[in-house]
Amino acid sequence: MTKFSPRNRKVKILATTGPATEDPEVLRALFRAGADAFRVNMSHGDHAFHAQTIAKIRALEAEFGRPIAILADLQGPKLRVGKFAEGRATIPHGAEFTFDRDPTPGNATRAELPHEEIFRVIEAGQRLLVNDGKIRLRVKSASPEAIVCTAEVGGVISDRKGVNVPDAEIPIPALTEKDRRDLAFAIEQGVDWIGLSFVQRPEDLIEARALMGDKGALCAKIEKPQAVRRIDEIIAAADGIMVARGDLGVELNPEEVPPLQKKIVNATRLTGKPVIVATQMLESMIESPIPTRAEVSDVANAVYDGADVVMLSAETAAGDWPEEAVLMMNAIASQIEHDEGYKQRVRFLDTPPDATVADALSHACMTIADTVELSAITVFTWSGNSARRVTRGRPAVPVMVLTPSMAVARRVSLLWGTHAVATKDIGSFEEMIAKGKRMALRHGFGSAGTKLIVMAGVPFGVSGATNLLHIATIDGDELVKHKKAK
């Protein structure tokens, strides 16, 4: 097993796989550079390619002895225009343009829109956005057969370009037949998180939950204005949240996205569930070895806001500089977390404990870490809930999560500040303390004389029974034993 040192930061980095990471050595380089987890984008590639990618990540996990989370990101339904007689057409600014149900190839005045669901809900005054918002159409009139629009912003429209409907809730499920096949494949492959696209309402998560059973965790991607309006309900129904700023930035005015990002991050943080900030974070590094200053500030703001995870998309999936992109994101995050103002800013959001023993103890961990010099907080957990409670307050020291379940270890590795370890369960108080110290030494979170918090539940081995907190000190004899054991 290759020796692995803990990361020098608490925010996690999620790197997207793709053609640029096909070589196992590139994946290995990304992990060494700072990638804590990997995203498999089901919109591209086939199952055979993704199975090979997942196997390579699991090989990395075995090599470095560290649980690595894998998120399978489902494509979701795609709304697209039909085809054009010449493959494309130009809609002049201010011109009238009609969408209809006729499959005849389109021209500069009309085109097919093969989604009867849109015809059922669209109303006059609402918008239709084509090709990532480059063409902006305002609906003049709508019937079951035709939607007549005025081009507020015209441009070139071509075959099968995407359509966004920001002002109406489209009555289609978040899962397509392709998504169901991809979800079954991902669960069979043992991925840890499922990213659900096109979420508009909390009910959209029900079918995915049923298909997943008790396997994996569900991350709702927030990319629709309709989801923003019901964000608290969606957070409650999901295991985690992704702020997918790509489509969100198409359907909303650009200036609306930054405050919404902060709102969603804060709302998710209050629950202790992981929140991912995604899309275009270091976009210029797809082609350039260095980012723009604005991109650096964007990543820094997400770190200051206390997001659990920052994500790289095409930068690592298909870019020319995948390793450099991870190194840059790692450097930005590390620099921000060592800023003297970081602790105050990341705790600007008040996260009061719920009225439970487990929450009170978790909150106490943060207070003790602020008062006493500690090397780590060690949490024994069966379900991962204790780790979620502890990290919610953004404690000043790392949180080492010890669990007998590899699935739980992988899942909680997306939480801010965690270092997850899959290890045998404990059976007594003495074993808990001894193991907590031993694991702290083994994973680089202690030396002779250092203190750490150990949190667990009695009776041991029972999920949801967190009721014990102990401060342990590593003595010199234990350090000597650890060195001899190595």
Phi, psi of 368 (to 5 degrees): -65, -40
Q: What is the Cβ-side half-sphere exposure of residue 326, based on CA atoms within 13 angstroms? A: 24
Is the model's pLDDT at 484 over the cut of 70? no
**Tens digits of residue pLDDT in 423-453:** 998 888 999 999 999 999 999 998 888 999 9
Pairing between β-strand 37-41 and β-strand 12-16 as defined by DSSP bridges: parallel
pTM here?
0.94
Q: In sequence order, what DSSP letters do the residues of 180-193 get, joined into one string?
A: HHHHHHHHHTT-SE
What pLDDT does residue 17 have? Answer: 98
pLDDT at 467: 87
171-223 tens-digit pLDDT: 999 999 999 999 999 999 999 999 999 999 999 999 999 999 999 999 999 99
Topology classification of domain 12-76+173-340: TIM Barrel (3.20.20)
229 annotated active-site:
no
Nearest to 288 by CA among 250, 314, 254, 249: 314
Query: CA 75 to CA 52: how far, in whole Å?
Result: 19
With a cut of 90, say whether residue 458 has pLDDT above it. no
Q: What is the CATH number of domain 88-164?
A: 2.40.33.10
Please identify which of the residues 279, 351, 378, 466 carries the catalytic annotation.
279
User: How high does pLDDT run on average in the chain?
Assistant: 95
Ranges in the chain annotated CATH 3.20.20.60: 12-76+173-340
Active-site choice (80, 88, 201, 451): 80
pLDDT of 475 reads 85
Q: Which of 39, 161, 245, 437 is catalytic?
A: 39
Total residue count of the chain as it appears in this document: 486
Return the pLDDT at 477.
62
Rounded Cα gap, residues 160 and 78, in angstroms: 10
Whole-number pLDDT of residue 427 = 86
What's the confidence (pLDDT) of residue 466?
86
Confidence of residue 463 (pLDDT cuts 50, 70, 90): confident
- Select which of 221, 230, 388, 435 is catalytic: 221
Tell whether the model's pLDDT for residue 414 goes beyond 80: yes
State the residue for tokens 């389109």: 106
More confident residue, 342 or 461: 342
With bands split at pLDDT 50, 70 and 90, how would you rate the model's confidence at 465? confident
Parts of the chain belonging to CATH 2.40.33.10:
88-164
What pLDDT is recorded for position 5? 80
* C-alpha to C-alpha distance for 286 and 139, rounded to whole angstroms: 36
Lowest mean pLDDT among 6-15, 24-33, 323-332, 457-466: 457-466
Given this model, what pLDDT does residue 394 score?
Answer: 97
Query: What is the reported pLDDT for 129?
Result: 97
> In this model, does residue 120 exceed pLDDT 60?
yes
Query: In this predicted structure, what is the pLDDT of residue 263?
Result: 97
Q: What is the pLDDT of residue 3?
A: 75
Q: For 205, how many CA atoms within 13 A lie in the half-sphere containing its CB? A: 22
pLDDT of residue 461: 73
32: annotated active-site residue: no
- What pLDDT score does 27 carry? 98
Q: Does domain 357-485 have CATH number 3.30.365.10?
A: no
CA distance 375 to 396: 10
249-307 pLDDT per residue, tens: 999 999 999 999 999 999 999 999 999 999 999 999 999 999 999 999 999 999 999 99
388 carries an active-site annotation: no
Indicate if the pLDDT at residue 478 is higher than 90.
no
Residue 293 near residue 332 (C-beta atoms within 8 A): no
269 is catalytic: no
For position 447, what pLDDT does the model report? Answer: 85
What are the tens digits of pLDDT across the range 28-54? 999 999 999 999 999 999 999 999 999
Tell me where in the chain the CATH 3.40.1380.20 domain(s) lie. Answer: 357-485
